[in-house]
Chains A and B, each alone.
Chain A
Amino acid sequence: MNGKLEFIDILREKEKKYNRQHDFNAFEFTYKAEITTIHKLTQMENLYRVRIIDPEQGKQFSFQPGQFVMLELPGIGEAPFSISSSPLRHGDIELCIRKAGNLTNFLSRVERGTRVGLRGPFGTGFPMEKMEGQNILLIAGGLGLAPLRSAIAYVQANRSRFNTVDIIYGTKDPSQLLFAYQYDVWRADDITLSIIVEEPDTAWKGPAGLITKILEDLFRKKDKTFFKNTYAIVCGPPVMFKFVCTMLSQKDIPMQKMFVSLERRMHCGMGKCCRCNVGSTYTCLKGPVFDYWTVMNLKEAI
């Protein structure tokens, strides 16, 4: 008899079919992608267009608005970013990234052509198909417009399937407005766009104040049937979506028809590192997109 244990190579046990959620090799699998263009949007934010290099892999990479990717720059770091582009474009995405620390500052200095790693897409998305046939309120504060822009692109591509569409967007001051070059196109697609800034400069002609102010104006113009047939997506800091969702709730929009995106620290995106937990819910698996009813029932969510 002998007493030697046989070494089991889990790589050999892998499934034939590529299954992202169950294959061991999927865990650390990184799509290699190239930054094809970099647009400077504001002092703090750049828009990166990132394309998966292998065309076959690129086709596989499909996502829903609201989902995120983990972007990796070898040796610098890896962090979660919401996909900010149209879900119709597979494997060729746009990320709107604010300088906030190591990785994001480094990214702001790289040149186009730089190769990055992408993992994902991860998390839940906005249920766009469920919203068809209804009015939609798309409400964004600050960088919240980044994930919302993917939903906007979906609406544009399927404009005939939605009733009225309103974008309400607020930032601190006019210099922080993101995607200004797209506003005319959105409006041309029969999307109402209202913008408000908290601290206007001398050139600013629009309204000034908090986003709730625009909402009040808008609500005055709408009747009961509007609210009955409306879905809302609210992206922004927790204080902002709390106020906004409370207002929407007062208009009798059910909390299950409002969607928000939560931001938490994330080190894996796959329900393993626990850094993203809210109470005991994994934001990376059950979120980042939650309906507001669920958020209200999560401990320590807001």
Chain B
Amino acid sequence: MIFKVIKKEELKHLFDVLAAENRVVGPVEAGRDSNGRPIYAFDQVSDFNNICLDYTTTKISAKRYFLPYQEDLAGFRIDGKDWHKKINYNIESPYIFFGLHACDINALNKLDKVLLGSVYPMPYYAAKRKNMFIIGLDCIPQPYCFCRSMGADTALHGFDMFLTDMGGQYFAEILSDTAFNFLKNIKTAEPAYADRMRYIKIIAEKKRKFTVRVDTTDLANILDMEFQSDVWKQWGEKCLACGTCSQVCPTCYCYGVEETVNINFHEAKKTKMLYSCNLIDFAQVAGGHNFRLKRDARLKYRYYHKHRGFVEAYEESLCVGCGRCGEACLAEITVPAVISSVRGEES
């Protein structure tokens, strides 16, 4: 890897160079909550001053740019008994992500495993994923962050360059050739010994700031063993089955497909919509049978998929510990609380 240091004022130049010719997405302030605290969101930005590089966590992950909540998989032209199918991957030009935290980069890496790396790679995701340039950004652990427990507090790959704030300058890890070339547009310097030591110190300080943790030791097995545990019923009673947790989650990718026909009967389309396993009809089949009729069965399944199924398949969990689901849940169901209750820990 190549390391550089970049003066803060130079970053604006980099932004301007990139924004001149590309679509740039970054964290912006979308509003304020009832306590007057900013609510952050990822959005397209053209002015560097609108990017909030000191943002905490966006309420909703950036997934609408790579897993849109709704997207057409195909369109049809219908002609009597015959038809013609046209497939569109729904992207025409690349996106630059300016300031993704490590958890969100790791979320992409996890999605890559199932959506690109396994059988039947998904072109709709691939087309968007391959057309992303990612500038990662370090963060300050929030009271709900447990990414460290999930091994997602540092990103090792899946970005083009990663910036760590060191006061007046950024420490930059450069992973891709593209990033290396873009940096030729601005002034950078080789990190001196003092810069490197300062970086190491900052990273170590960050580790100490985590307040919540999740014990993942043998978790896949414990979930298997405690499948019938009563704690699931208790959580099930609290859960509103609203599906918000999946909507905000950077790694939830489950979906449903629906076809609709135009009023003139000459055009039709096949649409994919992100879904949530907490919604009632997720596993309902023809004849009316529902394999997960009860809320606790569905809530449990979400944990099962993330912390057991994915682990079995890819030796890592499908949760990056960003804490978004817990923050968004009206019933205050959080991953650390659920897992610790399954483990039989006192809360």
Contacts and interface: CB of A to CB of B under 8 A. Distances in A.
B93 interface: yes
A79 B285 CA distance: 11
Contact of A27 (B93, B121, B284, B286): B121
A90 interface: no
B119 A28 contact: no
A249 B18 CA distance: 67
A75 B224 contact: no
B178 interface: yes
A270 B124 CA distance: 14
A265 interface: yes
A129 interface: no
A254 interface: no
A188 B178 CA distance: 71
A88 interface: no
B37 interface: no
B122 A30 contact: no
B285 A115 contact: no
A280 B115 CA distance: 16
B183 to A, nearest CB: 9
A22 B285 contact: no
A101 interface: yes
A5 B96 contact: yes
Contacts of B114: 271-272
A3 B120 contact: no
Contacts of A22: 119-121
Contacts of B265: 75
B120 A271 contact: yes
Nearest to A98: B286
A281 B309 CA distance: 7
Contact of A1 (B74, B184, B287, B308): B184
17 contacts: A2-B21, A5-B93, A7-B131, A10-B89, A24-B126, A26-B120, A27-B120, A75-B268, A78-B270, A100-B286, A272-B255, A277-B301, A280-B304, A280-B313, A285-B119, A299-B227, A299-B304
A1 B282 CA distance: 51
Interface in B71-100: 73-74, 76, 78, 81-83, 85, 87, 89, 92-94, 96
Contacts of B255: 267-268, 272-274
B94 to A, nearest CB: 4
Nearest to A277: B305
Contacts of A73: 259
Interface of B: 17-18, 20-22, 73-74, 76, 78, 81-83, 85, 87, 89, 92-94, 96, 114-115, 118-124, 126-127, 130-131, 133, 178, 181-182, 184-185, 224, 227, 253-262, 265, 268-270, 275, 277, 282-287, 291-292, 297, 301, 304-305, 308-310, 312-313
A76 interface: yes
Contacts of B82: 115
Interface string A1-32: 11111111010000000000110111110100
A3 B22 contact: yes
Chain B contact residues, majority secondary structure: mixed
Given A78-B259, A100-B286, A285-B119, A3 B268 contact: no
Interface of A: 1-8, 10, 21-22, 24-28, 30, 72-79, 98, 100-101, 104, 111, 113-115, 117, 263-265, 267-268, 270-275, 277-281, 285, 299-300
Nearest to B77: A74
Contacts, number: 163
Contacts of A300: 291-292, 297, 301
B81 A115 contact: yes
Contacts of B93: 5, 7
Interface centre among A22, A101, A117, A265 (most CB of B within 10 A): A265
A75 B83 CA distance: 10
Nearest to A4: B21
A238 B304 CA distance: 22
Contacts of A27: 120-124
Contacts of B85: 30, 74, 117
A275 B283 contact: yes
Contacts of A104: 286
Contacts of B22: 3-5
B317 to A, nearest CB: 12
